[in-house]
Each structure stands twice: as structure tokens, then as C-alpha cells.
Amino acid sequence: MKVFVVNCGSSSIKYQLFDMADESVLAKGLLERLGTSSALLRHSGNGKGREPVECERAVQAADHTAGLKLILDVLVDPRSGVLESIDQIDGVGHRVVHGGEGVTRSSRIDGELLKVIEANCDLAPLHNPANLAGIRAAMGAVPRAVHAAVFDTAFLATLPPHAYRYAVPNAWYAQHHVRRYGFHGTSHRYVTLTAAGLLGKPADQVHLITVHLGNGCSMTAVAGGKAVDHSMGMTPLEGLVMGTRSGDIDPAIVFQMHAAGLAVQEIDRVLNKESGLLGLSELSNDMRDLLRAVEVGDRKAALAVDVFVYRIAKYIGAYYTILPGLDAVVLTGGIGENSPPIRHRICRWLTPLGAVADEARNNQVVGGRAGPITAERSALAVWVVPTNEELMIARDTAAIVFGRGT
Ligand code: ADP
């Protein structure tokens, strides 16, 4: 079975084509700057029995429909493609950011589900409209396939009211849907299932704290395989310190900065795009740059890293308290998977919970490997488990094609 995974942003289409027989990736790529004169397609193909191809080329693609057509043409190209025909695609899995309160699982896309995605455009104005455009384009271009939507929010739909409600007037919730939804759910679900397997526990019995540290950062408390709390909120701005997002702040800071002369849109932009690691370091949103700067004595970079790690430790402490037990803290995302120094610092903060770091293990578990980074004798296990949201989407889509639930 072939499954095509599509992740549409407002000006980009990210894709992977899987052969689900062995979960291998036959092709993947990114079409960027859609709708501009400088649209660019980066594609790599690795079809069985064919020469691997890598290409990068300027293209003309006015919108998602044109962009998808272009990508599909590349997939079936007689010389460099990996498919004989588009009809070989059995399922198309679409990443959808916001499913709102009602969506708890991945589902086959029909008229009803399209309405749900549309109804949640207000809650994710930058993402859901682009996701919808991609779905409509793909349903037109690959009409014989089953189309499935996999929602970022779905894994987090099990949060209990005491975790998802804010202490604001009830009317804000009833009339304006003000509550915690959370994001990165597909990543947290993937690492939860993978970690359960690695720890030898049934998925519905594992207790974890999963920590996704990429450009965006979030943490989920998982009890019995279900999400019971999560650090991102009504929007992805809440919670951990991120590349350019502030994470938690006193909401009154918004009023103070407004009184100081900043328009609301400006404050929104600063908190989302100029804060976090970038705001504190005044250097970069990339952890690699900051770690290099710390080595040569950059104090602002050092503070940015300190605040980043401290916030993570504080959340782990809070989630430790609310879980019925803890099998492991699981680190993932670009920083979690690749940065021994940051992982070491997180482990040091967790000493009161019984974590004993193991330097050799920590240095070995990089480059897509999974494994523990704490010592055998450590009372608290800290693991690294690489995430793979595309594969999670492909697996859900395959299950839906087969008519099984997810
Ligand atoms: P996204 O959230 O965009 O999917 P990733 O999960 O790929 O991002 O994470 C990107 C971040 O991972 C980069 O901004 C960088 O800070 C960090 N990163 C990647 N490799 C390393 C490394 N070797 N050391 C420290 N940080 C790294």
C-alpha cells in the first residue's frame, strides 16, 4: 500500500510518499514560496529498483492545486519518478492543525469533517485554511484514494477539564471557546507509542512526560497512554520557551506593553516571532548558535539557555506531581534528539527526582537513535526517542484505508 502524506502551510507543501509494506520512504520533498515568482521545489526520490534522485528547481505554482499537480507529476515522471501512475496511491494523509473540541482521532475526510475543519479556522487562522486548501486540491488530484485527516490537537483531546480550563469567566469558554487545546499532538502520540514499545509496556499502561524540543517546544503528561496535561494552550504561544516564542508570561505584560505604545498586532508579533531564545540572546533562535556563543562567553546566550532549560525542568516537576507514576521522561524534536549538552542540563535539574545522567549514553544517542541517557541505576529514566510525525500520519491513514480505527 502506498500512502502520500501532505502537510500544507499557507505558502508551502511538505510531502512524503510511503510504501507501507515496510514503511520505507519512496519520495519526499518541500515546495516553498508557493504563489510567488520564486517558488522552489526540493525533491528526493528513492524508488525500489530505480536510481535515487535529488533535485532542487525553480517552479511556477500559483496555489496549492498547481503545487500538488507539480509534485504528483514528479512522482510519476517516467525517468525519475517512483510511481507508474497516481492510481497507485491508496491513501492520502493530511496534517490538520486544529480539530477543536470535538475531534479525538484521525478520520476519513468527508463533507462533515470538512465542515469541522472549516469551523475551526478561527482557532488556527494561519493553519486550518491552508490545510483545507491542500485537502481540496489533493481530493481533486488523487480522487481514487482515501483521504484522511490527522489532527495536531486530537491526542490532546483527552485532557480533563481541570487541565484544559483557564480560570476566566465561564462565558469566555462558552462563547469564545477559550480553553487549552494544545498542539504537536501527533509527535507526542508517536513518541508515546514508540517509548511504550521500547520500555516493554502496553501502550495503555505507560506513564510518561514527553518533551518535544524543536523550533516550537511543548510538553505532555501522559497517564496510561493518554494525554492528561500539555504545555501549549489555546494557541502555541503558551508554555515552554521556544526559538522565537516567549512561552508563559504574565498576561498583564500585554497591557503594560500596550500602554507603552505597542499596538496589539505588534505585541502578538513580538511574542511569537521575536521572543524566546532569540529575544533573550539577541543572537539566534537556533540552539546550535547559542551553545557555540556560550562557549566563547556570551552572557546573553547563556541566560537564554538557562531560562530555556529551567522552564523545562519546572514543567517536568509539575507533571511529575500530577501523574500516577512515571516510566520515563522522553525527549524528542531537533534539540531533544541532537543536543547532549542541553539534555545533560535537563538531567541535572532532575536530580531531586532521582535522575542520574550517564555521559557516555548521552553522547551516543544522537543522529536519529533512540535510547536512555540516564544510568542503569537511575531512579528516574530519561530517554531520547526521535519523532516522526509523517510516519504517524501514514500509519493512521493506512489504518483508515483498511477500515480499522486509529
Ligand atoms: P521544527 O520544530 O521546525 O520541526 P526541529 O524539530 O527540526 O524543528 O528542531 C529544530 C531545532 O533543533 C533547531 O532550531 C536547532 O535549535 C535544534 N538543533 C538541531 N540540531 C541540533 C544540535 N546538534 N544541537 C543543538 N540543537 C540542535
Query: Minimal CA–CA distance to 183: which of 135, 237, 225, 221?
Result: 237
- Cα–chain center distance at 246: 17
Q: Give the distance (Å) from ligand 1 centre to CA of residue 109.
A: 32
* 188 lies in some domain: no
C-alpha–C-alpha distance, residues 397 and 406, integer Å: 8
Q: Which protein residue's CA is at the shortest distance from atom 24 of ligand 1?
A: 339
- Do 213 and 330 lie in a common domain? yes
pLDDT value for 298: 98
C-alpha 52/C-alpha 70 separation (Å) is: 19
Determine the atom of ligand 1 nearest the C-alpha atom of 287: 16
In a domain, residue 20? The reply is: yes
Q: Is 334 a pocket residue for ligand 1 (Cβ < 6 Å)?
A: yes
3-state DSSP call for residue 326?
A: coil
Cα(25)–Cα(209) distance, integer angstroms = 29
Q: Cα separation of 148 and 20, whole Å?
A: 15
Residue 340 burial (10 A CB sphere; 0-12, 13-18, 19+): middle
**β-strand partners of 60:** none
Ligand 1 atom having least distance to the Cα of 387? 6
Helix (H, G, I), strand (E, B) or coil at 194: helix
- Residues 137 and 270 occupy one common structural domain: no
- Write b or e for each residue in 2-33: b if 16 or more Cβ atoms lie within 10 A of its Cβ, otherwise e: bbbbbbbbebbbbbbbbbbeeeebbbbbbbbe
Can you tell me which atom of ligand 1 is nearest the CA of 342? Answer: 25
378 and 273 within one domain? yes
> Per the domain annotation, does 182 fall within a domain?
no
Cell reading at 201: 509496556
Answer yes or no: do 263 and 119 share one domain: no
Per-residue confidence (pLDDT) for residue 49, from 0 to 100: 75
What pLDDT is attached to residue 80? 82
**Residue 72's domain spans which residues?**
2-151
Q: Is 214 in the pocket of ligand 1 (CB under 6 A)?
A: yes
Rounded distance between C-alpha atoms, residue 178 and residue 176, angstroms: 5
Q: Do 27 and 147 lie in a common domain?
A: yes
Q: Beta strand 382-384 with 53-58: parallel, antiparallel or unpaired?
A: unpaired
Q: Give catalytic status of residue 152 as yes or no.
A: yes
- The answer to whether 355 and 347 are in contact (CB under 8 A) is yes
**pLDDT tens digit sequence for 31-69:** 999 999 999 999 999 877 778 899 999 999 999 999 999
Q: How far is the CA of 121 from the centre of ligand 1 (A)?
A: 28
- Indicate whether 92 and 239 sit together in one domain: no
Domain check: are 242 and 124 in the same one?
Answer: no
* 137 shares its domain with 217: no
Tell me which residue of 96, 203, 115 sits closest to 154, measured CA to CA: 96
Contact status, residue 58 vs residue 39, Cβ threshold 8 Å: yes
State the pLDDT at residue 297. Answer: 98
Determine if ligand 1 sits within 6 Å of the CB of residue 338.
yes
Quick one: cell of 94? 493530511
Which residues of the chain carry a pLDDT beneath 70? 405
Does one domain contain both 252 and 140?
no
pTM: 0.95
Residue 192 is assigned to a structural domain of this protein: no
65 alpha carbon – ligand 1 mean position (Å): 31
Residues 111 and 8 in one domain: yes
Q: Which one from 152, 298, 327, 358 is the annotated catalytic residue? A: 152
Tell me the C-alpha distance between 247 and 271, whole Å: 8
Find out whether the beta carbon of 276 lies less than 6 Å from any atom of ligand 1: no
376 falls within a domain? yes
Ligand 1 centroid, distance to 285 Cα (angstroms): 10
Can you tell me whether residue 64 is helix, strand or coil? helix
Determine whether the shortest distance from the Cβ of 288 to ligand 1 is under 6 A: yes
Q: Domain with 44 in it: what CATH number?
A: 3.30.420.40
How many residues are recorded in the chain? 406
In a domain, 354, yes or no: yes
99 is a domain residue: yes
Q: Which of 135, 151, 167 is the last residue of a domain?
A: 151
Q: Note whether residue 176 is domain-resident.
A: no
What are 29's three cell numbers? 520533498
Residues 89 and 216 in one domain: no
For residue 51, the model assigns a pLDDT of 81
Q: In this structure, are 102 and 236 located in the same domain?
A: no
Total domains in the fold of the chain: 2
